[in-house]
Amino acid sequence: MRAENYQARHQPPSHEYELNFGPNHPGIEGNYALKVRLHGDIVTHAKADGGYLHRGFEKLMEQRLWIQNIALVPRICVPDPAPMELAYSTAVETLCGLDIPVRAQWLRVLQMELSRIAAHLFTFGGHAATTGMYNTMFWGVSDRDLVLDLFEELTGGRVYHIYNIPGGVRRDVTEGFLGRVAQFLDYLESRLPDYDNLFFTNQVFVTRAKSVGVLSPQQALELGVTGPNLRACGLAFDVRRDDPYLVYDQLEFDIPVEQAGDAWARTLVRRAELKESIRILRQVIERLPGIPGPIRAPIPNPLAWNVPAGEYYARVESSKGELSWYVVSNGGAKPWRTHIRGPSAMHAVQVLETLATGARLEDVAQIMFSLDACPPEVDR
């Protein structure tokens, strides 16, 4: 918490006043908070406060063996933990010069896209709730639970999969798992018209979201916006396509783009990505059975594993934007330094502060959810 945010100030006798927006606010996730200055119900100034949620991941990682960090990294972003595992593992693998077996790469794609679907369903629910449409939230959360069931079966954990380790993945798919994924995809696809009626084309939502929190392409580039938020400004950049990792270069998918740059456009991009993820997963289901193992490259005893000295910046496309791990090894058994370049930090701080300014108070929560920022990752 920043002390200066919470000091009483002399309030001028006017319509201007300050409001603590969160941390205990229904439209705010986690410990995150905003300090907003209002003129009437128009925000004239907004100051983001990441809050004390986790704090110190990067430092903590320096105290742990390379392998132990795989249990730590997913906790940085609760709704979409899988890309955290992948980016960290990729950095370590690159420093070690490990070749990741092809089957492991496909299994990682399976996990990444399922995680993207789960994260988007969660976000739709949250976004809908900020506009008073709680039905969509119930639907989104309960449909996400079906993905969590699949994760539980594949990885042994519903939320924190701890499925990737440097070298590959820990387990192969279970008997019949791909069939159950296919069933879920069919189910989700059949639900989309309902979601459209309930939320995406619902005039209550469209009217609320249109022209709110508008981000120009210029602003987006200046602020370092990535992911669906960037693509909603008409800029088609996606790490999966523009700097392919895993086997994304062998998969067919489109990069959905919207032009308006407002809260509605951002939501529509995510809605379209849901379809693309379903498309990718169907290709995985079709091709994975024909790809032989193993699922992990041999790695040294984790208790005596020195990663060669060097540094690497590994980036992946998470549901929230470009997620990167910068990992430095001095040749020792633990990272010398790690740093996360997560999408949420700038989306929830610089971008949100910019977009909230000038917005109406009731739209602030909506703007935040339309940016899909993940507070645990802001203050990691």
Residues at the interface with other proteins (CB under 8 A): 64-65, 67-68, 70-72, 149, 152-153, 155-157, 160, 162, 170-172, 174, 196-197, 200-203, 206, 254, 256-258, 268-269, 271-272, 275, 294-296, 299-305
Tell me whether residue 21 or residue 139 sits nearer to other proteins (CB atom).
Answer: 139
- 97 neighbors 289 (Cβ within 8 angstroms): no
Q: Give the shortest CB-144-to-other proteins separation in angstroms.
A: 15
Tell me the residue length of the chain.
380
Q: Give the shortest CB-335-to-other proteins separation in angstroms.
A: 14
Q: Give the shortest CB-35-to-other proteins separation in angstroms.
A: 33
CA–CA dist 356, 85 (Å, integer): 32
CA–CA dist 264, 228 (Å, integer): 12
Tell me whether residue 35 or residue 120 sits nearer to other proteins (CB atom).
Answer: 120
Q: At what angle do helices 263-287 and 361-371 cross, to 10 degrees?
A: 20
Q: Give the shortest CB-3-to-other proteins separation in angstroms.
A: 31
Tell me whether residue 63 or residue 250 sits nearer to other proteins (CB atom).
Answer: 63
Burial category of 308 from C-beta neighbours within 10 Å (exposed 0-12, middle 13-18, buried 19 and up)? exposed
Q: Give the shortest CB-57-to-other proteins separation in angstroms.
A: 13
Tell me whether residue 266 or residue 315 sits nearer to other proteins (CB atom).
Answer: 266
Q: Give the shortest CB-287-to-other proteins separation in angstroms.
A: 20
- DSSP string over 244-289: --TTGGGS-------SS-SHHHHHHHHHHHHHHHHHHHHHHHHHGG
CA–CA dist 161, 318 (Å, integer): 15
Beta-strand runs (E) in the chain: 16-21, 33-39, 42-49, 164-165, 168-169, 310-318, 321-329, 337-341
Tell me whether residue 224 or residue 302 sits nearer to other proteins (CB atom).
Answer: 302
Tell me whether residue 162 or residue 247 sits nearer to other proteins (CB atom).
Answer: 162
Identity of the amino acid at 157: G
Tell me whether residue 149 or residue 242 sits nearer to other proteins (CB atom).
Answer: 149
Distances (CA, A) of 239 to 38, 68, 227, 364: 38, 27, 9, 29
Q: Give the shortest CB-62-to-other proteins separation in angstroms.
A: 14
